[in-house]
């Protein structure tokens, strides 16, 4: 059992850089929590404070209700897996995995049992005699995981463990780590700046920017209901489209005016925008590529929700195609069926599914509805 409670944690480095501010979070036992955000936003600093590798400047850290600010790293029963694996090159896989246990003077028989069990979980049984240089990147990463597993820690911390692997191996290891979490039934805190890892691996995501938490929720909730433009743009591939629109009211309905088109805003959302004083003001309309369309029923049924633009580029991804279309001076990305044929430079129509649109305040970037 291990839950973590971070209460108003802050870290200011000796040079005066405040890397993390007012960071409060409860991590439940057996949760797979992802910290995600752009480079330099403070993810590693949070992880290192949890591990006890970095002193906490302000705030409190609890493991299972026990305050641990002043508990040494080695006494926290936490294991950390690093980006660069940090394996000992002169030791075999077995000895790399056994190293920490030997230091703790665990009996040899017990060490063997733990290492073999970890090797079985990670499919390393046939590689135990090899040296790290005789392994592939994925195998090395598994050894690094193995070294953490043998200690049977209550909490696993992982700092971008897949960033040195090629794309195919990353996908494979993503699944392996998610399975590992199910198998071990322990608490995982995982740092990444890769939004695909964030979306697919964890039970909850914490999105960070400039040392501050922007949003904490399940991957799907964050994807569907981002609290601000930063989160909306950061999670999802391709990123959300943002377009400046003017909110107007005509005959009791609320519209978003874009170029010379009027896009009807669904009643409830329109009402909120009106009540919050956004009529006759510009806001940012946010819409994902899959909620725009280039053909089919939707365009036929809702010609009023379609705009004309020019196709600048088509990106074929196999199961789907993305069209990059210039509308009103802005490029938007539209997910279309691979069967839809269009030439670069051609005029195309783009349908807006307004029930999926977001509206952001231009200055604060906050999601209004």
In the complex, which residues of this chain contact ligand ATP (CB under 6 A)?
A: 13, 15, 17, 19, 37, 39-45, 193
Render the burial of 309-343: b for 16+ CB within 10 Å, e for the rest.
bebeebeeeeeebbbbbebeeeebbbbbeeeeebe
> Order of strands, edge to edge, in the sheet holding 321-327?
292-293, 347-352, 306-316, 321-327, 330-336
Please identify, using beta-carbon distances, which residue of 81 and 263 lies nearer to ligand ATP: 81
Closest distance of CB 158 from ligand ATP, Å:
12
Residue recorded with tokens 């601000």: 228
- HSE value, Cβ hemisphere, 13 Å, CA-based, for 47: 27
Q: How far is CA 287 from CA 107, 127, 214, in A?
A: 59, 49, 20
Closest distance of CB 141 from ligand ATP, Å:
17
Q: Which neighbouring-strand residues pair with 257?
A: 246, 262
Closest distance of CB 225 from ligand ATP, Å:
24
Please identify, using beta-carbon distances, which residue of 27 and 263 lies nearer to ligand ATP: 27
Please identify, using beta-carbon distances, which residue of 84 and 364 lies nearer to ligand ATP: 84
Largest Cα–Cα distance of the chain, in whole Å? 81
Residue 108 near residue 115, CB atoms below 8 Å: no
Closest distance of CB 15 from ligand ATP, Å:
5
Closest distance of CB 85 from ligand ATP, Å:
16
Please identify, using beta-carbon distances, which residue of 44 and 96 lies nearer to ligand ATP: 44
Please identify, using beta-carbon distances, which residue of 42 and 219 lies nearer to ligand ATP: 42
Please identify, using beta-carbon distances, which residue of 160 and 283 lies nearer to ligand ATP: 160
Closest distance of CB 193 from ligand ATP, Å:
5
Q: For the chain, how far is it from start to end, CA to CA, in angstroms?
A: 39
Residue recorded with tokens 């850089």: 17
Cα–Cα nearest to 113, from 75, 157, 155, 152: 152
Closest distance of CB 47 from ligand ATP, Å:
8
Closest distance of CB 9 from ligand ATP, Å:
12
Closest distance of CB 256 from ligand ATP, Å:
35
Please identify, using beta-carbon distances, which residue of 14 and 107 lies nearer to ligand ATP: 14
Q: Distance between CA 49 and CA 70 in Å, rounded?
A: 11
Residue 143 near residue 93, CB atoms below 8 Å: yes
Write the DSSP symbol of residue 132.
G
Please identify, using beta-carbon distances, which residue of 43 and 170 lies nearer to ligand ATP: 43
Concatenate the DSSP letters of all residues of 289-325 into one string.
GGGEESSSHHHHH-GGGEEEEEEEEEEE-SS-EEEEE
Peptide bond into 238 cis (omega under 30): yes
Please identify, using beta-carbon distances, which residue of 43 and 174 lies nearer to ligand ATP: 43
């Amino acid at each position: 059992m291990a839950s973590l409670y971070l209460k108003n944690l802050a870290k200011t480095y000796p040079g005066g850089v405040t890397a993390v501010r007012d960071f409060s979070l409860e991590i439940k036992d057996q949760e797979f929590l992802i910290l995600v955000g752009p480079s330099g936003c403070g993810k590693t600093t949070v992880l290192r404070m949890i591990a006890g590798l970095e002193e906490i400047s302000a705030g409190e850290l609890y493991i299972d209700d026990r305050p641990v600010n002043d508990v040494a790293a080695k006494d926290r029963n936490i294991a950390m897996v690093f980006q660069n694996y940090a394996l000992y090159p002169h030791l075999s896989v077995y000895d790399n995995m056994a190293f920490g246990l030997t230091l703790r003077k665990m009996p040899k028989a017990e060490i063997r049992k733990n290492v073999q069990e970890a090797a079985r979980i990670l499919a390393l049984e046939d590689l135990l005699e090899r040296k790290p240089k005789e392994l592939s990147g994925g195998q090395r990463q598994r050894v690094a995981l193995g070294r953490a597993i043998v200690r049977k820690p209550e909490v696993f911390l992982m700092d971008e463990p897949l960033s040195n692997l090629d794309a195919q191996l990353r996908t494979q290891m993503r699944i392996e780590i998610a399975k590992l979490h199910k198998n071990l039934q322990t608490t995982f805190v995982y740092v990444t700046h890769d939004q695909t890892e964030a979306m697919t691996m964890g039970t909850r995501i914490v999105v960070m920017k400039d040392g501050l938490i922007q949003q904490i929720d399940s991957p799907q909730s964050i994807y569907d209901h981002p609290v601000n433009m930063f989160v909306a743009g950061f999670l999802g591939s391709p990123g959300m489209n943002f377009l400046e629109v003017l909110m107007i009211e005509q005959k009791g309905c609320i519209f978003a005016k874009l170029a010379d088109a009027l896009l009807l805003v669904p009643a409830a959302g329109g009402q909120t925008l009106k009540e919050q004083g956004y009529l006759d003001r510009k806001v940012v309309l946010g819409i994902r590529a899959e909620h725009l369309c280039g053909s089919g029923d939707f365009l036929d049924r809702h010609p009023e929700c379609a705009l004309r633009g020019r196709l600048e580029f088509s990106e074929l991804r196999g199961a789907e195609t993305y069209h990059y279309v210039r509308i009103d001076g802005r490029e938007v990305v539209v997910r279309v069926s691979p069967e839809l044929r269009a030439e670069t430079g051609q005029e195309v129509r783009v349908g807006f599914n307004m029930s999926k649109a977001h509206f952001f305040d231009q200055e604060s970037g906050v999601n209004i509805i």
